Chains A and B, each alone.
Chain A
Amino acid sequence: MNGIGDSPPRPDGFAKVSGAARYVDDVSLPGMWHGATLRSPHPHARIRSIHWDPAKAPDGAVCVTVADLPGPNGVQLIDDGWPILADGFTLHVAEPVALVAAPTRLAARQALAAITVDYEPLDPVLSLEQAESLSPLYQLGMDTGDVEAALARADAVIEGEYRTGHQEHIYIECNGMIAWYEDDGALTVLGSMQCPYYVHKALTHGLGLPDDKVRVRASTVGGGFGGKEDFPSAIALHAALLARACGRPVKVVYDRHEDIIGTSKRHPAVVRHRTGVTRDGRLLGLDIEILMDGGAYATLSSVVLSRALLHSFGPYRCADVRIRGRVLRTHTTPNSAFRGFGAPQVEFALERQMDRIARTLGLDPLEIRMRNAVEPGDRLPTGQVLDASTSARLCLEEAERRTGFRERWKELEEARARRSEGSDGEPLRGIGLSLYFHGAGFTGNGERKMKSPVTARILEDGRIEVLTAMTDMGQGCVAVFPQIAAAAAGILPEDVTFAEPDTAEVPDSGPTVASRTTMIVGGLIARAVAELRDRVVSGREGASVRDGWIEGPDGSRERFREAALRLRQENGPVEVTLRHEPPEWQTFDESTYSGAAYPTYAWGADVVEVEVDPDTLAVRPIQVTAVCEVGRAIHKTLCAGQIEGGTLQALGWALMEEVKMQDGRYLNDRLATYIIPTIRDSPRIDVHLLEQAWEGGPFGAKGGGELPMDGGAPAAAQAIENATGIAVTAIPATPERLLEWQRSNQTVGDAG
């Protein structure tokens, strides 16, 4: 298996290092103007009138409002209920109300002052508590076995309520799009995005253009994390509308403040657990309620809730499970996709609940998990039977082996019990453990519906060209895909090239989300390239292809590329398009929530060590050991890089990333106030990849990009408890909240 598991330098690496890589804001077109957005200052208001006074704006500036829309006022995603521009009402602060374009960025900003909007403020709903009594944006439930009977026969029923807050993506490159029309009326949009075909669909729908008159291209994307899954569609529409209005290319690029207030965040959640257990710690029944704050419009909330439901019971055995979930509407910016997509919230809650159960029964955090962790052959509450590539227990065991967690946790529990008031100022140490999993690929029947066509063809120079719509936002498909293609065909990475994600050229292989890129699309690439290779060597008895050479049984050798070139010259174009066809058993019944919710799962166990300053209650993560199983790592360094980066994002979410709101406005609306970890806040992160090849993935690989988001927060919370005794039931566990909890005696008591 040539190259699989190696870590070659990423092909776009030097361009990024030298400043040559072109992100959307680095691109300028002749005659290009700049766009700016007028945003609602109210969380909820009627819009009585919008008045544009060109005399007050820089010369020639144009303005677009909902009155100028050529098509339906909806950004097509799952439905088109999300307005392109506010129409009659505004439902959140920062909602786009009008757009302007002018010759320079500064002029565009100044042109916003030429618009007067008459608002009539209305009462807003701003919290989950307020929203609970109103009808939800979306709701889902699943009920398997008989949870009440299970709770009735349990030795103990333990309750808990857990909360998680907003999280903002803070990709270092803000959102941006450039749109321009050709003379024949065809529209091209270039910009920062994860899903070119989502943007394409939104443009054809919103502008009333046929498919072949719209072209969408992804520029180099400076981070996504889910934050560029849906909003790029809206921003592309804005840029296109402005281009249409002024007859020139228009660039719309957000600055950081605008990006924070105007685009999506992770759904805040409240998760309530009622769990029945035996006295030796086995789960008998899980009764779970999930509430999520969807913001003002549904966007992707239905799928977020779906994934949340399907991860809320964790990597544990339990036959009787009832889950009820609702996404509620508040008058805030719509919340949407963020790495993990609902799973981090519910896995935080479940892991904390497991810890509460453990303390109640006098078990340590490792033991409670060992007693309940799923193994191959076990059945999830959805009925899905787990295959051999199920490593929950293995991850736990390896994490324990590498860290000595059990002993150290116990020592620190005892140290805390012995500790008297008035410490000597030495930091309080704590250690915490979590077990987590993440379904790879689209939820439910999504992959079956999408089919994700991938095309491979032989170019005139004999190289194979692969065409997919996947965008590299940093995660590294630009490196992983050539490795897969080369290994699948026996050729060299130089013998294969990948087309830019350009809807004029590539098929719709689906969005770059849901931990599907390597597993689903990589798998199709492997098969497509292998099929082309077979055509090139067809007729040659016993030939094999290795390292870019065709080797015959008689010892003959020919460069693969030359043979491919010849085949093309002789036969004309040689091309194959493959579609993803999940096996029969991979079906999911959306009405009963039963079946194979995901083709497979990735697994992980984290051990997080922290130091808590006794004077300030500031929590410093010192060391994380992350043991993960994602089938097989194609590119070891990039795979570990996903775990490292995702782990730090999870810790930031757990400890310092806070969104405070006042009257529907985010107070943390700049990088000075929305706090993400610097290098000095970052622990040492040791990643250990366990390999457990999954036969459904290319060379055994499963999806893993989101996995690390699920483990860091509950492990950090447990570590804080271990160090301080303060019971952490919500995140971010900022020092201010730790103080509040300490003062109100929200503690776990002493080990005993």
Chain B
Amino acid sequence: MIALRPRSLDEMVRHLEGDPGLIPVAGCTDLMVRGPEALHRIDKVIDLLGIPELRGSRAVDGGLEIGAATTFTEIRSSAAVRAAFPALVEAAGQVGGWQIQNRATLGGNIANASPAGDSLPVLLALDAVVVVAGRKGQREIPYAEFHTGYRKTALEPGEIIVRVRLPHLPAGSIQSFRKVGTREAQAISKVVVALVGRVDSGRIAELRLAAGSVAPVPVRLRAAEEAVRGLPPEAEAANRAGSIAAQEVQPIDDVRSTAEYRRYVLERVVRRMVLGLVG
């Protein structure tokens, strides 16, 4: 039985190089649900929470970096994140109740790779870059390339996410976030949408739309974006973006909701968010 609690990123990477079978754990809010029987079968684990380089945010050239082991409570209370990326703060506040937010981490949300992950569409819409470390050293993966399939990521064995870089948005950018869950709080999303956009001279100059729970991975709604770039943020553009978005996703029926409902809601939420670009 091995249970390691490294104190620095270097120490962490050395352990992972030595044994790619080590299971990295952070907030454990997804992992521990498996229950005592399954957990007792884990025999190699390495803790990410004790590594200062993985926590907190710092300004970098052109953006903000958030450590992978930063909790959602920390994201919500970070002055830097609140100032630059309110959509991420909004998502962080809906990840679960207070108790979950105190433990669940941004890196964990990403690595868990659930298509319903609440922060994931925000990261997509913000053109995030995921910085990972492991035996190949550090490398950067554009978040848009990070999810390779249902619950599959671009992480190689022995790699962990160390930080997420969010490029600053141009002045005048608008961000919005909407989660439609099974109830008002402590809910898994049925549809979750993030928007980043900018209006210039009365027309949509920039638009990035991303959605979760409507496909095996979080997706950019590129066809919808294409269709309305250059139009005024009014009914026509909003309706068009909504209806195209609903067609470019592949939602399913599951225990929470139906494909039909997900398409309907996606269309209307996208429409509402595009109308919201008026500011």
Do A and B touch directly, given a CB cutoff of 8 Å in the complex? Answer: yes
What is A's interface to B at a CB cutoff of 8 Å? 105-106, 109-110, 255, 422, 425, 614-616, 618, 620, 656, 660, 667-668, 672-673, 675, 677-681, 735-736, 739-740
> Which chain B residues have a beta carbon within 8 Å of chain A's beta carbons?
33, 35-37, 40, 97, 180, 182-188, 235, 255-258, 260-261, 264-265, 268-269, 271-272, 275
Contact B37 A425 (CB under 8 A): no
Residues of A close to B97: CB separation below 8 A: 678
Chain A residue contacts of B183, Cβ below 8 A: 656, 675, 677-678, 680-681
The 3 lowest CB-CB distance pairs between A and B, nearest first, are A615-B268, A680-B184, A680-B185
Task: Report A-chain residues with C-beta under 8 Å of the C-beta of B256.
Answer: 673
Q: What is the CA–CA distance of A402 and B127 in the complex, to the nearest angstrom? A: 54
Chain A: minimal CB distance from B26 (Å)? 20
Q: Which residue of B lies closest to A425 (CB)?
A: B272
Which residues on B sit within 8 Å (CB–CB) of A425? 272, 275
Q: Is the CB of A109 within 8 A of B185?
A: no
Q: Inside 8 A of A109's CB, which chain B residues have their CB?
A: 36-37
Complex: A649 Cα to B250 Cα, angstroms: 35
Known contacts A109-B37, A422-B235, A678-B183, then 17 further A-B pairs from the complex at CB < 8 Å, ordered by chain A residue? A106-B36, A106-B40, A110-B37, A425-B272, A425-B275, A615-B268, A615-B272, A616-B269, A656-B182, A656-B183, A667-B255, A668-B255, A673-B255, A675-B183, A680-B185, A681-B183, A739-B264
28 contacts between A and B (CB under 8 A): A105-B36, A106-B36, A109-B36, A109-B37, A422-B235, A425-B272, A615-B265, A615-B268, A615-B269, A616-B268, A616-B269, A618-B180, A620-B184, A656-B183, A660-B255, A667-B255, A672-B33, A673-B255, A675-B182, A675-B183, A675-B187, A678-B183, A678-B184, A680-B184, A736-B257, A739-B260, A739-B261, A739-B264
Q: A106 vs B275: C-alpha distance in the bound complex, in angstroms?
A: 55
Chain B residue nearest in CB terms to A673:
B255
CB–CB A106/B37 < 8 A: yes
> Shortest Cβ distance from B30 into chain A, in angstroms?
11
Max chain B C-beta neighbours (<10 A), residue from A106, A110, A616:
A616
B269 and A681 within 8 A (CB): no
Q: What residues of A have a CB within 8 angstroms of the CB of B40 in the complex?
A: 106
Find out whether the CB atom of A735 lies under 8 angstroms from the CB atom of B261.
Answer: yes
A255 contacts which chain B residues (CB < 8 A)? 35
Residues of B within 8 A of A105 (CB): 36
Cα(A345)–Cα(B271), bound, Å: 39
| Contact A740 to B185, CB < 8 A, known contacts A422-B235, A615-B269, A616-B265 | no
Across the interface, which residues of B come within 8 angstroms of A656, CB to CB? 182-183
Chain B residues whose C-beta falls within 8 Å of the C-beta of A110 in the assembled complex: 37
Distance between B76 CB and nearest chain A CB, rounded to angstroms? 16
Q: How far is the CA of A105 from the CA of B35 in the complex (A)?
A: 12
CB A261 to nearest CB in B, in angstroms, measures 14
B260 — which chain A residues lie within 8 A by C-beta? 736, 739-740
- Establish whether residues A681 and B185, one from each chain, have CB atoms under 8 Å apart when the complex forms: yes
Q: In the complex, what's the smallest C-beta–C-beta distance from B229 to chain A, in angstroms?
A: 23
Residues of A within 8 A of B182 (CB): 656, 675
For residue A255, give the distance in angstroms from its CB to the closest CB of chain B: 8
Enumerate chain B residues within 8 angstroms of A677, measured Cβ to Cβ. 183
B261 touches A736 (CB 8 A): yes
C-alpha spacing A677/B181, complex, angstroms: 12
For A679, the chain B residues whose CB sits under 8 A away are: 185
Q: Which residue of B lies closest to A667 (CB)?
A: B255
Q: How far is the CA of A654 from the CA of B97 in the complex (A)?
A: 24
In the complex, which residues of chain A have a beta carbon less than 8 angstroms from the beta carbon of B257? Answer: 736
- Min Cβ gap A357→B in Å is 31
Closest beta carbon of chain A to B273's beta carbon, Å:
10
The answer to whether B184 and A681 touch across the interface, beta carbons within 8 angstroms, is yes
Please measure, in the bound complex, the distance between the C-alpha atom of A667 and the C-alpha atom of B256, giving whole angstroms.
Answer: 10
> A678 contacts B261, CB within 8 Å?
no
A128 to B268, CA, bound (A): 36
Shortest distance from the beta carbon of B246 to any chain A beta carbon, whole Å: 13
Closest to A735 in B: B261
Q: Which residues does chain A contribute within 8 Å of B268, judged by CB atoms?
A: 614-616
Question: How many angstroms between the C-alpha atoms of A739 and B36 in the bound complex?
Answer: 40
A744–B258 CA distance with the chains assembled, in angstroms? 16
CB of A18 to closest CB in B, whole Å: 20
Q: Which residues of B contact A618 (CB under 8 A)?
A: 180
Nearest opposing residue in chain A for B185, CB measure:
A680
Q: Smallest CB-CB separation from B258: which chain A residue?
A: A736
In Å, the complex CA distance between A532 and B246 comes to: 75
Minimal beta-carbon separation of B274 from chain A (angstroms)? 12
Q: How far is the CA of A667 from the CA of B257 in the complex (A)?
A: 12
Kindly state the separation between the CA atoms of A678 and B97 in the bound complex, as whole angstroms: 10
Task: Considering the complex, give the chain A residue whose CB is closest to the CB of B238.
Answer: A422
Shortest CB-to-CB span from B179 to chain A, Å, is 10
Q: CA A673 – CA B258 in complex, angstroms?
A: 14
Bound Cα distance from A616 to B35, whole angstroms: 34
